[in-house]
């Protein structure tokens, strides 16, 4: 039996993510403005949103590139920031059919925190599907890339984005991404350790090294403390 892409499911997923456009659009606009401020071209900014399509990794990319970090440090940071997708994939696999429509290679391209979150919630309440996931992915891709384009167009009209203090959007964005993740005392401990380490080393080392070391140190300490608290 040939299974087809269920358009109704795609529409359901697309609509389910619509409320998040409120968050996605200003984020992508701010990203575009900051990418341009940091010296990336219009085309490079658009290519990041369309092909990398991972907000936090893109912010890190631009932030580190602006600081003059090396390519290796940028790519390792992108890898570390995106490794969670492996787990999203594993967790979705428990619900997805063996043969999906569209195929997994296409579903994977649009995977994000938001579309994963909505889809796994739909699956848990018995209303998820591969089409729903595809629709949610599409909804985010459309809003994110369109808003990036708007940000690029508006940004070029701003006289001097740097003087507006838009660089502050970077740390505020990461703070906003961080806070919902802090559920346990250990989460807070890891954030404080990594944040303090980054803060104290940022005066001497470039951004890439700081983020890399603080991330590895914070996550390693978190893993060790997590295990010892379980055994206690």
Smallest CA-to-CA distance from 58 within 18, 88, 16, 29 is with: 29
Instruction: Give whichever of 3 and 223 is closer to other proteins, judged by the CB atom.
Output: 223
Q: How many residues bind other proteins (CB under 8 A)?
A: 96
Q: How far is the CB of 30 from other proteins (least distance, A)?
A: 7
Report the site for other proteins in 144-183 (rule: CB under 8 A): 165-182
Is 172 buried (19+), middle (13-18) or exposed (0-12) by CB count in 10 A?
exposed
**Hey, which residues between 74 and 103 contact other proteins (CB under 8 A)?**
74-75, 77-94, 96
**Beta carbon of residue 7, minimum distance to other proteins (angstroms, whole number):** 22
With CB under 8 A as the contact rule, which of the stretches 3-11, 38-46, 121-129, 148-156 interacts with other proteins?
38-46
H-only helix segments in 51-112? 55-66, 71-82, 84-93, 104-109
The candidate with the shortest Cα–Cα distance to 141, out of 17, 41, 39, 42, is 17
The Cα 175–Cα 170 span in angstroms is: 9
Within residues 50-69, the interface with other proteins by CB under 8 A covers 51-54, 56-57, 59-61, 63, 65
Nearer Cβ to other proteins (96/142): 96
Phi, psi of 196 (to 5 degrees): -65, -40
Q: For the CB of residue 29, give the shortest distance to other proteins in the complex, in Å.
A: 10
Nearest C-alpha neighbor of 145 from the set 9, 18, 15, 27: 27
**Is 214 one of the binding residues for other proteins (CB under 8 A)?**
yes
Least separation in angstroms between CB 227 and other proteins: 7
Which residues within the stretch 193-212 sit at the binding site for other proteins (CB under 8 A)? 193-199, 202-203, 207, 210-211
């Amino acid at each position: 039996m040939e299974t087809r892409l269920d358009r109704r499911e795609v529409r359901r997923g697309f609509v389910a993510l619509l409320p998040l456009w409120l968050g996605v659009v200003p984020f992508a606009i701010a990203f575009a403005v900051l990418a341009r401020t940091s010296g990336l071209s219009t085309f490079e900014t658009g290519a990041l949103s369309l092909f990398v399509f991972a907000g936090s990794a893109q912010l890190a990319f631009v932030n580190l590139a602006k600081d003059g970090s090396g390519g290796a440090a940028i790519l390792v940071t992108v890898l570390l920031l995106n490794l969670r997708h492996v787990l999203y994939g594993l967790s979705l696999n428990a619900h997805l059919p063996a043969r999906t429509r569209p195929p997994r290679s296409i579903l994977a391209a649009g995977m994000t925190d938001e579309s994963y979150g909505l889809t796994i919630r739909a699956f848990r309440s018995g209303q998820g599907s591969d089409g729903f996931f595809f629709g949610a992915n599409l909804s985010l891709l459309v809003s994110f890339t369109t808003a990036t384009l708007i940000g690029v167009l508006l940004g070029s009209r701003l006289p001097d984005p740097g003087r507006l203090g838009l660089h502050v959007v970077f740390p505020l964005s990461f703070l906003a991404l961080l806070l919902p993740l802090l559920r346990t005392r250990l989460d807070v401990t890891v954030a404080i350790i990594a944040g303090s380490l980054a803060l104290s080393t940022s005066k001497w080392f470039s951004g890439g090294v700081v983020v890399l070391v603080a991330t590895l140190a914070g996550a390693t300490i978190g893993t060790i403390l997590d295990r010892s608290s379980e055994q206690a």
